[in-house]
């Protein structure tokens, strides 16, 4: 019997665990370790943040699903990885600390044959002084955060109804933050909500981002074919901001938040401030802080993890110049190259380089989005990791036939621009590949036959349909495995 331990139950980890158990069956053991008792469909948190969905529409408890699937579920966080075991336990194991109220703080060692590190990121609010829900800004990075953000937005709307003008600041809260897409959607949904309530004349909405151009989204922007014309995402994004009355500040690295004031450095090296009454700013991401030790207890965290705390996999981490990288530097099977029974799908793997060109201010500050790995890529990678482990267990093969390099993978994204059955709006966009391939597509970096975008009400219906489809899939309802990642 083989034992596979999955750390994390987000999009990537939950997908991996589901396929592992379905295909391995009762003859092998699958263990999921997650500090939260809930699965969250994170892409819909932006709707929780404007009151269009409740928290229980975007989450559900994991235990009933895992009980049904016969998966061993532990509500706990991983503390350390011991890939060689130690003097008392010869097998590799993970040290976990339980977070559930019944056995909170209990420490346990769980041995494994294969380990899938799908912990996702740490929301590194502390990287920016004053940032975060416990301080001066709001977040939609979790459904709990989004619920509190909606309460704060309602308070602002009440003030606006009394005639007060409110300044909204939405975007990224760190010079290297990623997930611009979620903040972009939230800005548009706030504008749409205020317009629907007849309060747009009392709002001043400003987008602030570390992107060199609006619409970069951490992937160097894109050229999309729209209405028969090739359009850069810069034009696409600026035009929709203009339509919604949203101003923007780009090339900005937020470095400090005080009550009502965001301090930021520009790519030109200037230090400026932006005042706000309400701010929703995405933090930087980092690894969750798991340590690693060898058999003698020596710290080998740098062998498994990059300085960011994200896990090293089959990528090129040599640190070559940005101009010299190629799509071949990106991982395709997400396997650690020192300990070959450890894998890291989704946000948990360390990208080998930036996709957007690294840009520094004259002060030496890096002001550039980190590469995105959320949504569709996370689900696809989680599945291929599971399928490769299954092949190893069942057939003993070490040749991986399932691969998912982001340099050869397309992604579809529906960017919500306002919720409403007949008044909603969304931009439907596909990008192929996610990481530009300038050798194969020297003119645009991507294949324009598969890199397209259109906006309209139909896009909102598609995004709403996808919300319910992916919840159906995650809950393991009939024929869930037939639905795409």
pLDDT at 222 over 90: no
Q: Are 31 and 6 in contact (CB under 8 A)?
A: yes
Contact (CB, 8 A) for 231 and 454: no
Residue in this structure with the two tokens 């391995």, named with its chain if needed? 24
- pLDDT above 70 coverage of the chain, percent: 100
Query: Who has greater pLDDT, 452 or 365?
Result: 365
Residue 365 pLDDT exceeds 90: yes
Q: Is the pLDDT of residue 453 over 80?
A: no
Specify whether the CB–CB gap between 312 and 305 falls below 8 A: yes
Average pLDDT value for residue range 189-200:
97
- Domain boundaries 3-123+286-395, corresponding CATH code: 3.50.50.100
Beta-strand relationship, 261-266 and 271-275: antiparallel
Is residue 226 predicted with pLDDT exceeding 80?
A: no
Average pLDDT, the chain: 94
**What integer pLDDT is reported at residue 448 of this predicted model?**
87
pLDDT at 317: 96
Average pLDDT of the segment spanning 388-411 = 92
Are 426 and 417 spatial neighbours (Cβ–Cβ below 8 Å)? yes
Q: What pLDDT is recorded for position 471? A: 97
Report which of residues 168 and 396 the model is more confident about. 168
Express each pLDDT in 416-444 by its tens digit. 989 988 888 888 888 899 999 999 999 88
pLDDT given at position 230: 82
Predicted pLDDT of residue 368? 96
C-beta contacts of 423-426 below 8 A and 24+ residues apart: 423/192, 423/196, 423/457, 424/457, 424/460, 424/461, 424/464, 425/188, 425/192, 425/455, 425/456, 425/457, 425/459, 425/460, 426/455, 426/456, 426/459, 426/460, 426/462, 426/463
**Banded pLDDT at 231 (limits 50, 70, 90):** confident
Q: Can you tell me the mean pLDDT for 30-45?
A: 97
Report whether 170 contacts 248 (CB < 8 A). no
Q: Is the pLDDT of residue 354 over 80?
A: yes
Position 313 confidence tier, pLDDT thresholds 50, 70, 90: very high
The per-residue pLDDT for range 52-103, each reduced to its tens digit, is 999 999 999 999 999 999 999 999 999 999 999 998 889 999 999 999 888 9
Average pLDDT for 241-248: 96
């Amino acid at each position: 019997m083989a034992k596979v331990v999955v750390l994390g139950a987000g999009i990537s980890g939950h997908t991996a665990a589901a396929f592992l158990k379905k295909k391995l069956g009762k003859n092998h053991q699958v263990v999921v370790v997650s500090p939260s008792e809930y699965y969250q469909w994170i892409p819909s948190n932006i709707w929780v943040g404007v009151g269009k969905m409740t928290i229980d529409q975007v989450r559900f408890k994991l235990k009933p699903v895992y009980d049904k699937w016969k998966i061993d579920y532990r509500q706990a966080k991983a503390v350390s990885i011991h890939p060689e075991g130690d003097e008392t336990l010869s097998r590799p194991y993970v040290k976990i600390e339980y977070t559930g109220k019944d056995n909170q703080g209990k420490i346990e060692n769980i041995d494994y044959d294969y380990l899938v590190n799908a912990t996702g990121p740490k929301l590194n609010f502390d990287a920016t002084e004053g940032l975060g829900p416990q301080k001066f800004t709001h977040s939609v990075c979790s459904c709990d955060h989004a619920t509190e953000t909606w309460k704060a937005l309602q308070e602002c709307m009440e003030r606006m109804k009394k005639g007060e003008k409110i300044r909204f600041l939405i975007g990224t809260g760190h010079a290297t933050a990623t997930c611009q897409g979620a903040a972009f959607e939230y800005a548009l949904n706030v504008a749409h909500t205020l317009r629907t309530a007849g309060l747009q004349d009392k709002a001043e909405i400003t987008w602030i981002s570390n992107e060199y151009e609006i619409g970069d989204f951490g992937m160097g922007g894109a050229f999309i074919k729209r209405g028969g014309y090739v359009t850069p995402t810069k034009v696409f994004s600026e035009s929709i901001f203009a339509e919604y009355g949203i101003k923007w500040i780009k090339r900005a690295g937020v470095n400090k938040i005080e009550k009502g004031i965001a301090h930021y450095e520009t790519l030109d090296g200037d230090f400026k401030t932006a005042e706000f009454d309400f701010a929703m700013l995405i933090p930087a991401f980092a690894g969750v802080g798991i340590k690693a030790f060898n058999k003698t207890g020596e710290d080998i965290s740098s062998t498994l993890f990059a300085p960011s705390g994200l896990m090293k996999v089959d990528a090129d981490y040599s640190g070559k110049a940005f101009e010299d990288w190629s799509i071949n530097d990106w991982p395709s099977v997400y396997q650690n190259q020192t300990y070959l029974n450890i894998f890291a799908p989704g946000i948990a793997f360390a990208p080998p380089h930036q996709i957007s060109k690294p840009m520094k201010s004259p002060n030496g500050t890096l002001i550039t989005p980190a590469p995105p790995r959320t949504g569709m890529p996370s689900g696809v990678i989680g599945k291929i990791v599971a399928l490769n482990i299954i092949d190893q267990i069942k057939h003993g093969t070490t040749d991986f036939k399932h691969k998912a390099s982001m340099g050869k993978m397309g992604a579809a994204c529906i960017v919500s621009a306002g919720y409403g059955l007949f008044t909603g709006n969304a931009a439907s966009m596909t990008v192929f590949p996610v990481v530009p391939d300038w050798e194969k597509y020297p003119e645009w970096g991507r294949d324009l036959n598969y890199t397209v975008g259109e906006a309209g009400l139909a896009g909102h219906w598609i995004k709403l349909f996808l919300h319910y489809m992916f919840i159906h899939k995650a809950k393991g309802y009939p024929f869930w495995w037939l639905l795409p990642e």
